[in-house]
Every structure is written in structure tokens, then in C-alpha cells.
Amino acid sequence: MPAPAEQALPAAPGPLVETRVYPSQTDWHRHDYHQVLFGLDGASELEIGGHLHRLEPRGGLIVPAGERHDFLGLENNRQLVVDIPPGSLALPAAMMGRARAFGVDDAWDTHVRQLAALPQGMRQGGSRQHHWQLASMLASGLAQALGLDRRGEPARFPLAQVDAYLRQHLDAPLRASQLAAHFGWSTRRFHTLFCDAFGDTPHRYQMRLRLDQATRLLADRKQALAEISLALGFPDQTTFTRSFTQRFGMPPGAWRAGLGSEGGSSPPASRQCHGLIES
């Protein structure tokens, strides 16, 4: 009899990563998922909550879920767009809660363009696995790019620093008391502020981070599942498999198989969007 960890579970909606071109006539919509936009070529204008944002190369923009946004494509525009259903990709809730423009430095701009140039996962035919892998790569630097932590304000919860610290320590789960001590807060106060800022408990958010990282590590077929389990701080492969299956609806072995074959999994349905998907 197969273990429960090997049984397929309903898969929650995952992120979608595509290059898109916005039309030259003003249009608008709203949707129930967040978006992160990275300018690649030309320019686009988006109006959110009465504020006009111009998206150009080396720039980015957060579009919160549920926010109406009017958009207009200019100058042979092209952008990398990440659709993020709430609760899918591990990102702090406070980061996605309001429209926000941000700059992209040289190193990150190069990284974004490399991902945009990949032949798989950028179009409707890309597998769910590829989209999640690419979105996880982009998420790893987003908190720091936004600069949500304001240095010199000790009373402000250092969201970006906490997020970066957790991403750097995926090899072992950190207790709230350990995190609180590291950042100089009482455990109770830290836990409260963490839940407010991240929209989740420290334990659950760390689990999401570790499993997001697993989607990237599984792309390397030379790495055994047992090695990935150890690298991500799971006590054994069985625990890793059970946690991964609960999150993604399939065991890691099946996920890896889908990465290696275009027919290995059903592609995610393209979400309703008036931006044109680049062919």
C-alpha cells in the first residue's frame, strides 16, 4: 500500500511567469492575484489608486490583488510579469499589500533578463513546475530590492532583513525565540509583528520558503532527494516528501519528472489578462 505522501492531492494555484506586451490603447482590469512587473524594453504606464506609474527597463512595480489598474503600452514595450496567487509563493504579505515601484540594480537586471530569455516556462506551454521554479528565483531578491526595512528606525519591524535572514538559513528551521533573539525583540512581540508583516507564522513561512527552494533544487537531477531533504533541514526524506506533496499536490519525484518532459504535467491555464503574451 503506498504511503500517504505518494498520493496526489488537489494542487493550489501557483505562480505564472511570462513576458507580456501591453496594448497601445488604454485598458483596465483587476484580478484576485498579485503581480510583480519588471520592465524589459520600451515603457508602459499603469495607474493604480490615482497614482501613475511608468514602467521602464531597470524598474519594477507591485500590483496588489484586487486593485483596479489602468494600463497603456508605449514604445515597443515588453515586461516580465509574475502572477502570484495569495498564499502561493513565499513572500511577505506586507510587501504585496500596496502598489509600489522599485528600482532594479545591474546584477538583478541581468538575472531578470536571463530568466526572460529562457525558452521554457515563459509561455503558455511552460509546465507548472517551471513557472514555480522561475517565480521562486525572482522572489529571493524582491524584499531587498524594495528596501522595506528602514535603517535607523529601531522601532520598525525589519521585514526585509528578517526575510533575507530566513532565506539564508534554509538548512534548519529556526524557532521564533531564536529569530527574536537575533533581531533583538522579545519572542512574543516578534511573533506578533512577524504574523502581521508576513501573513503567516514563522514556522509556516519558513516551510513555504524551504519548499519553494526545493522546486529549484529538484531541477538538478544529479541531486538525490535525500540530499535535498538534508539541505533544506528536513529530518528525513519521508518528511520532506510528505511536506512537499501537501504543498504542491504531488511528490517531489513526480515534480522532477514534469520538469524533464513537456508532457510531464499540465501547463497552467493562462490567466485572464489584457496584456499580450509574447510569442
pLDDT at 199: 93
Give one word for 154, left, alpha or beta, with left for phi > 0 and alpha for psi -120 to 50.
alpha
The Cα angle at residue 97 between residues 69 and 125, in degrees rounded to 5: 65
Closest CA to 77 of 21, 18, 17: 21
The CATH number of 4-148+155-277 is which of 2.60.120.280, 2.40.40.20, 3.90.1150.10, 2.40.50.140? 2.60.120.280
Closest CA to 232 of 171, 174, 173, 175: 171
CA 7 – CA 270 distance, rounded (Å): 27
Task: Quote the cell numbers at residue 203.
Answer: 514556522
Choice among 75-89, 124-138, 161-175, 264-278 with the minimum mean pLDDT:
264-278
Contact between residue 45 and residue 85 where contact means Cβ atoms under 8 Å apart: no
In the chain, the amino acid numbered 41 is: D
Choice among 26-35, 108-117, 142-151, 196-205 with the minimum mean pLDDT:
142-151
Q: Roughly how many angstroms between the first and final C-alpha of the chain, as a whole number?
A: 45
pLDDT at 127: 82
Give the residue extent of every domain in the chain: 4-148+155-277
Radius of gyration of the chain from its Cα atoms, rounded to whole angstroms = 19
Residue 6 above 80 pLDDT? Answer: no
Taking the model in full, what pTM does it have?
Answer: 0.85
Kind plus residue range of the DSSP H or E element containing 96: helix 93-96
Q: pLDDT tens digit string along 195-229?
A: 999 999 999 999 999 999 999 999 999 999 999 99
CA 162 – CA 200 distance, rounded (Å): 13
Q: At what angle do helices 176-183 and 187-198 cross, to 10 degrees?
A: 100
CA 224 – CA 105 distance, rounded (Å): 35
Sign of the Cα torsion 259, 83, 124, 6 reads positive
pLDDT at 118: 82
Q: For the residues 18-38, what does the mean pLDDT come to?
A: 95
Cα atoms in the 13 Å half-sphere on the side-chain side of 121: 27
